[in-house]
Structure 1
Amino acid sequence: MPGVYLACGVTDMRKGISGLAMLAQTVLRQKPASGAVFAFRGRRGDRLKLLYWDGQGFCLYYKILERVRTAEQYSTTVAAG
């Protein structure tokens, strides 16, 4: 069953599908076309790319966050929630 794999550290967000697929294979040691979702984060933490094989080709989801929360801010929000 495919899973979700998070790349530790930061990734150069200039990388496209081919570059991210190569990272999934070499760094995460997974087959990029396995059906798993591979998540990569940018240097500042406000950019996120998800790579996914849908059976016919790769899908690339790119998100730029308006605000970035630190772990401390997140835990305070969850505790207050």
Structure 2
Amino acid sequence: MIGPGSAVRVYLACGSIDMRKGIDGLAALVQADLRQKPTSGAVFAFRGKRGDRIKLLFWDGQGFCLFYKVLDKGRFPWPSAADGTARLTSAQLSMLWEGIDWRRPSWSAPPIRTA
């Protein structure tokens, strides 16, 4: 995915939004609900009510980029609306984009090789 890089700040708008919103509507939500500047260079993530759709809004310095993904099966893991806003790392954003539960990843040690 062409994207913002590894040191970017990521904000999740907890709860769900109307997925018909475009760049202008999402930028307005960033200002009003998340109390952030849409052109700050951070990534802002939004999920639809059904949970199978996600939109990422990102300012690249020249204009807005809007990434949209619909899962064929399953739902994107998401905090409840009561949580307000969540911060993610770029690694957690990558997991989210792949549909992996970024809140409880299963980490395992690499297998030990015997000679």
Change (3 A) 1:50 1:33: same
Q: Partner of 2:39: helix, strand, or coil?
A: helix
Structure 1 residues not aligned, in runs of 5+? none
Percent identity over the alignment? 66
TM-score normalised by L of structure 2? 0.60
Aligned residues: 76
The structure with the larger Rg is 2
Q: Runs (4+) of structure 1 moved beyond 2 Å?
A: none
Amino acid at match of 1:33: T
1:78/1:67 CA distance change after superposition, 3 Å: farther
- Write 1 or 2 for the structure with the bigger share of helix: 1
Secondary structure, counterpart of 1:34 in structure 2: coil
TM-score (norm 1): 0.83
Match of residue 59 from structure 1:
65
Please list every run of 5 or more consecutive structure 2 residues that lacks an aligned counterpart in the other structure: 1-6, 78-100, 108-115
Whole-Å Cα distance in 2 between the matches of residues 69 and 41 of structure 1? 10
Greater relative contact order, per chain length (Cα 8 Å cut-off, separation 6+): 2
